A and B are shown apart, each in its own frame.
Chain A
Amino acid sequence: MTLQTNQGDPDAASALYTEDATGLRSEEMILNMGPQHPSTHGVLRLVLTLDGETVMQCTPVMGYLHRGMEKTFENRPYMAGPRYIDNADYLSPMINEVCYAGAVEQIMGVEPPPRAQYIRVIVQELERIASHLVAVGTYGLDLGAFTPVLWAFRDREVILDLFEALSGHRFTHNYMRVGGVLYDLPKGWIQQCEQWATRFVDKNLPELEGLLTGNEIFVSRTRGVGYIDPQQALAYALTGPMTRASGVNFDVRVQRPYGAYREIAVRPQLQTGGDCFARYRVRMDEMVESVRLIREALDKLPSGPISNRSPIALRPPRGETYYSVETGRGEESIYMISDGSEYPYRAKLRAPSFVNLQILPELLRGNKIGDVIAILGSIDIVLGDVDR
């Protein structure tokens, strides 16, 4: 049986068929997966062209959650930006806010006080754990293991409670300000955080890991599935666990450290498998690493002010900048242009989920339909980030 595919042309529709030795052709079938499908983690639609159970072609259709975020930035003052960018990647709003505030700070040439930078690192690492817990938990749910998601959300709730004590909100925190953070750590917060970190890394995370890594079905459905080789990862500009699972050492915190990451060294968690299981492993290892970073930042936490004095009507000087942070999904960047007014002239958001999703048609081609969910779940997209 020869399989004819259009390799050079990733998305374009073309005739796809299989032909056996006698010249018999089998017709393909079009299957719509989504936009209302539990395992697409949002409103993503995949138009799958199937030959029997084999995926011949996949065309993702997105934009159902498009809210015109970049246009909104242009029409709101700089100080209002962090509130709006919360909703871009709604599983890691704190890191989004750091991205926006950091971009404005870089244009202005100011730097937040050391205590604010350390608080930023602590909340970013907490947010990374919360985001990875959702990724790993729902990945188990997609593949038929129900308990991991409940156990993962058990720890995520504690993180959200910590954020609520800190900022007043569980999801859309609006906590970062240009030149610092909004509130100092409340009384008893550090002890609560340390207690949770000990319980998480000593007890809860090994339990969660035992449920998934020790689950034979989970391992056999992820190992060797959806292989990405390092060259492919670079060509498709993948970032985050997607690329680190293929052995490419790229992490914005390591390559271009920002904020207090210049003083707290991050050990990148690498895997060489390149398959879905390796991506799952990277996420599990990064959670342990994040706990280590939180502890180190809490130990080193300096005293002093938490914010610079900056005017409400912020007018950064004219200029442009490209500021990157590392979210749980990869490099999130803002290309921001200031024309000297109170409103950004242009704020282009480089969303990690959007770029990572691009390799999906390439990964799915030739796989069985059962693996579609395993591969899609391992990319760990957030549709708010894809559609913006």
Chain B
Amino acid sequence: MDLTPRNGDSVSLVAFDREHINQLLTSLAEVDTLVGQPVPKTRMGGGAVGIEVAPERLVEVARVLRDSLGFEMLTCVSGVDFVDHIQSVYHFRSLASNWLLQVRVRLSADQPEVDSLIGLYPSANWLEREQYDMVGIIYKGHPDLRRILLDDDFQGFPMRRNFRATPITLHDRATTQVDAERAISGEQQRNQERIVSKHLGQGDEERIHPGKPTFGSAAVYLETGQGLLPGDMQGDVETEHGYEVNTDNPTPTRKS
């Protein structure tokens, strides 16, 4: 994805001294000599400067940033999923010179791996763990890379673009209305259909059992007296909360 602003450079809210930013850009020549070629540098809003380095040079660059340029703080680590690639973005602060630097590392989408900065900045410990948790970036050399905010047995990485908050398919669950063995075998689908139609076929006065999941279709039946005959509403599928619900079958069906 191309993120270059279309309408020229975006305006900075804070009118930072241009000299001040130029000074940082000049100092970054040290990074250029280390890498061997000029790294791409951009001016960002709010008086920040962004550079991009190759993942295998990140630790060397960070060492230069800390020891020579005086960036004492690693403030923020963010992972961004751009579908075709994944970025790990670091924000460094220098208090002495009042600089804010953004370092961007481009990783492959299949195997997002980059060296950990924990040896240089202790604050990288939890910051990197959080991005592993959310985006799934592997920080090589991290001593304790496990989930931090989510459960240990959580599946998937929520901040990826292809992550679905609700599962597309439902697993069969045991209900109180059929015995557990049949419920998990998927056999209750047909069985339940029969129970519902029989139960509701006895007249409008009869109240639905309070424990029965209705998903609205029984209410329709009670109002109109129509529908819910076996086979009558075969193709009628409505979506509720992302699950496909067959209206003559109160249980959400598994999507094949």
- The chain A residue sitting closest to B95, CB to CB, is A250
Q: How many Å lie between the Cα of A333 and that of B46 in the bound state?
A: 12
Contact A11 B76 (CB under 8 A): no
Contact B91 A335 (CB under 8 A): yes
B78 contacts A by Cβ under 8 Å: yes
A224 contacts B by Cβ under 8 Å: no
Contact A109 B11 (CB under 8 A): yes
Which stretch (A232-240, A278-286, A288-296) binds chain B?
Answer: A232-240
- The chain A residue sitting closest to B123, CB to CB, is A237
Contact B4 A318 (CB under 8 A): yes
Q: Assuming the A-B contacts A12-B144, A322-B102, are A63 and B151 also in contact, with contact meaning beta carbons closer than 8 angstroms in the complex?
A: yes
B186 to chain A, nearest CB (A): 31
The residues of B that contact A9 with a CB separation of less than 8 Å are 143-144
Q: How many Å lie between the Cα of A306 and that of B72 in the bound state?
A: 39
| Residue from the set A9, A11, A237, A355 with the largest chain B CB neighbour count within 10 Å | A237
Contact A317 B7 (CB under 8 A): yes
**What does DSSP make chain B's interface, helix, strand, loop or mixed?**
loop
A27 to chain B, nearest CB (A): 24
Q: Which of B44, B48, B134 contacts A70 (CB 8 A)?
A: B134
Chain A 314-342 near chain B by CB (<8 Å), digits 1 or 0: 00011111111000000101010101100
> From residue 71 to 122 of chain A, which have CB atoms closer than 8 A to chain B?
71, 102, 105-109, 111
Contact B91 A339 (CB under 8 A): no
B156 to chain A, nearest CB (A): 12
B148 contacts A by Cβ under 8 Å: yes
B103 to chain A, nearest CB (A): 12
Q: Assuming the A-B contacts A63-B148, A70-B134, are A337 and B3 also in contact, with contact meaning beta carbons closer than 8 angstroms in the complex?
A: yes
Contact A321 B45 (CB under 8 A): yes
Contact A71 B123 (CB under 8 A): no
Contact A388 B149 (CB under 8 A): yes
Q: Which of B5, B48, B81, B130 contacts A322 (CB 8 A)?
A: B48
| Residue from the set B13, B95, B123, B127 with the largest chain A CB neighbour count within 10 Å | B13
The residues of B that contact A324 with a CB separation of less than 8 Å are 46
A173 contacts B by Cβ under 8 Å: no
The residues of A that contact B98 with a CB separation of less than 8 Å are 255-256
| Residue from the set B121, B125, B148, B150 with the largest chain A CB neighbour count within 10 Å | B148
- The chain B residue sitting closest to A102, CB to CB, is B13
A358 contacts B by Cβ under 8 Å: yes
| Residue from the set A12, A111, A323, A324 with the largest chain B CB neighbour count within 10 Å | A324
The residues of A that contact B144 with a CB separation of less than 8 Å are 9-12
Contact B76 A106 (CB under 8 A): no
Contact A107 B45 (CB under 8 A): yes
Contact A339 B1 (CB under 8 A): yes
Q: How many Å lie between the Cα of A250 and that of B72 in the bound state?
A: 12
Contact A105 B13 (CB under 8 A): yes
A178 to chain B, nearest CB (A): 13
- The chain B residue sitting closest to A354, CB to CB, is B126
A66 contacts B by Cβ under 8 Å: yes
Chain B 131-162 near chain A by CB (<8 Å), digits 1 or 0: 00010000000011001111100000011000
The residues of B that contact A335 with a CB separation of less than 8 Å are 76, 78, 89, 91
Q: Which of A106, A249, A318, A348 contacts B6 (CB 8 A)?
A: A318
The residues of B that contact A255 with a CB separation of less than 8 Å are 95, 98
A35 contacts B by Cβ under 8 Å: no
Q: How many Å lie between the Cα of A59 and that of B148 in the bound state?
A: 11
The residues of A that contact B39 with a CB separation of less than 8 Å are none
B47 contacts A by Cβ under 8 Å: yes
Contact B95 A358 (CB under 8 A): no
A258 contacts B by Cβ under 8 Å: yes
Q: Which of A62, A258, A319, A323 contacts B148 (CB 8 A)?
A: A62
A387 contacts B by Cβ under 8 Å: yes
Contact A322 B14 (CB under 8 A): no
B234 contacts A by Cβ under 8 Å: no
Contact A237 B100 (CB under 8 A): no
List 5 additional contacts besides A106-B45, A337-B80; criterion CB under 8 Å: A71-B165, A109-B13, A258-B14, A317-B6, A323-B46
